Amino acid sequence: MSAYSISRRSLLKAAAACPLLGAMPSFSWERTLDFDRAAWYRQAKFGMFIHWGPYSQASVEASWPIMVPKPGGIAEPDYRALARTFNPTKFDPHEWIDLARQAGQKYMVFTTKHHDGFCMFDSSYTDYKITSSPYGKDIVKQLAAACHEDEMPIGFYFSPPDMHHPGFRDTARPSSENWHGQPERPEWQSYLAYMQQQLRELLTRYGPVALIWFDGLNNQEKYDGDHVLRMIHEIQPATLTNDRIGVDGDYETPEQFIPTAIPTKGIKLTGIDPSVSSKLSAAVPRPEDFRLWETCMTINNTWAYNKNDQNYKTAQTLIRGLVEAASRGGNFLLNVGPQPDGEIQPEFQQRLKAIGAWLKFNGDSIYGTTYGPIQNAEGIRTTSNGKTLFIHVFDWKPPACTIKGMDVRVLSARLLANGMPLKFRQNQNQVDIEIPQAAPDQDVSVIALNLF
């Protein structure tokens, strides 16, 4: 069963239980939720992150140029004015979904509102939105409808910080002076109400929402996250949430780094600080101690489209990043920043398709797997799925691949990409696998072991 077939049934079941989702088909399921909400997510492993907004026209990062200005950067009034010229006439949501499919990605997460406060959906509570731009149409509505039609789970990135709303901060001052928000002001409660109203719009207008991806920056407790999560699950019980609104969500979100060990409950990653992962134990945890997680990462060095940033990661680096994440039980959310016209640049497309080409032959070692029993071994990474152990070989060194620490009997070995049987010898806790001279794949070759 595919990762999507689980998510589709689960999401629609939850939607059917909620009277607020008027646009959904009718179903006869009971109101009680008798399924694992995160089952589809654990199986999916690989998703597409999308950062897009008027800022793409200036080849600058989303929001940060007005929050932390740099010498020679765009001025805040000029940044705000970009909304008046944003007209992505080549935007085609089905093309985005087709690209995600070719890449082997199983879900999408779209920035509905970044810290600057600009809404890519037709919110009733602000004029700083896509339907007030020259484009004039609701981007989120189009993308969500296409995702539902094409059976691609869609999640929404939503920023609790909002530089545009006078309740979040004193907007008479530059964003750089008070971008952390001002909860001490009496206007703060008006902002919390606004934030919750917009979340209700996203959860009631656009069909099943696979997840809400918050990005709360610092002091996230000020957003009353407990109340927000209760509201989300009352409207769409199946919707997953991440950990960036001051309360524990369904999964953690390390950013631009992959933890050095398997995340476990009780040790919170800080999102942007890779040094925290050094506190994790190198031991393989019990399943009940595992902490669901997802690394988000860029293809170059910026989240938004930037024609000047040509420091692209290689396809091999990205494939190995996906393997690294899966080998520790995590998901890999790889970002694209579409061009101002709505198309995705060729450099991104080439790399995504290369990952998809690798997954076509090696996807069984990623989808539906969890962390493997062999961790931190030099030159290899492992994932497992039931009685199958997948050995991802980074350093192909014939004539043999040696696996130490194997305390389970191996019944057979084969190359995953072409099914070629491999001879092996097992002695106590070590397995020596005879491998051909040439690596089956220049990026990562995979050996599948059938275990007793």
Q: Which residue in 360, 284, 369, 278 sits closest to 330, CA to CA?
A: 369
My answer on whether 298 and 445 are in the same domain is no
Last residue of a domain, one of 369, 397, 416: 369
Co-location of 445 and 410 in the same domain? yes
Q: Which two tokens stand for residue 317?
A: 């680096």
Within-domain flag for 281: no
The domain that holds 412 is classified in CATH as 2.60.40.1180
- What pLDDT, on the 0 to 100 scale, is given for residue 18? 40
Which of 315, 340, 369 lies at the terminal end of a domain, its last residue?
369
Q: In this structure, are 88 and 123 located in the same domain?
A: yes
Partners of residue 335 on adjacent β-strands: 49, 298
Domain assignment present for residue 285? The answer is no
Domain count, the chain: 2
Cα–Cα distance measured from residue 98 to residue 105, given in angstroms and rounded to the nearest whole number: 10
Q: Are residues 92 and 170 in the same domain?
A: yes
The answer on 170 and 104 residing in a single domain is: yes
- Which residue stretches of the chain have pLDDT < 70? 1-35
Do 188 and 325 belong to one domain? yes
Angle of helix 139-149 versus helix 93-103 axis, rounded to 10:
50
Do 298 and 154 lie in one domain? The reply is yes
425 shares its domain with 310: no
Let me know whether 348 and 385 are in one domain.
Answer: no
Same-domain pairing of 322 and 396: no
Long-range contacts of the stretch 419-422 (C-beta < 8 A, 24+): 422/447
| Residue 103 placed within a domain | yes
262 domain-assigned: no
Q: Which of 335, 369, 403 is the last residue of a domain?
A: 369
352 and 408 both lie in a single domain: no
Sequential DSSP letters for 228-285: HHHHHHHH-TT-EEBS-SSS--SBB--BSS--SS--BTT----SS-GGGGGGS-SSPP
Pairing of strands 445-451, 430-434: unpaired
- Averaged pLDDT of the chain: 91
Same domain, 323 and 223: yes
**For 360-391, how does the pLDDT look when each residue is reduced to its tens digit (9 = 90+)?**
999 999 999 999 999 989 999 999 999 999 99
Q: Is residue 278 part of a domain?
A: no
Cα separation, 256 vs 318, whole angstroms:
12
Domain presence at residue 273: no
pTM equals 0.91
Assigned domain for 427 exists: yes
Asked whether residue 260 is domain-assigned, the answer is: no
Q: In CATH, what number is assigned to the domain containing residue 87?
A: 3.20.20.80
Task: Show the domain range for 186.
Answer: 3-251+292-369
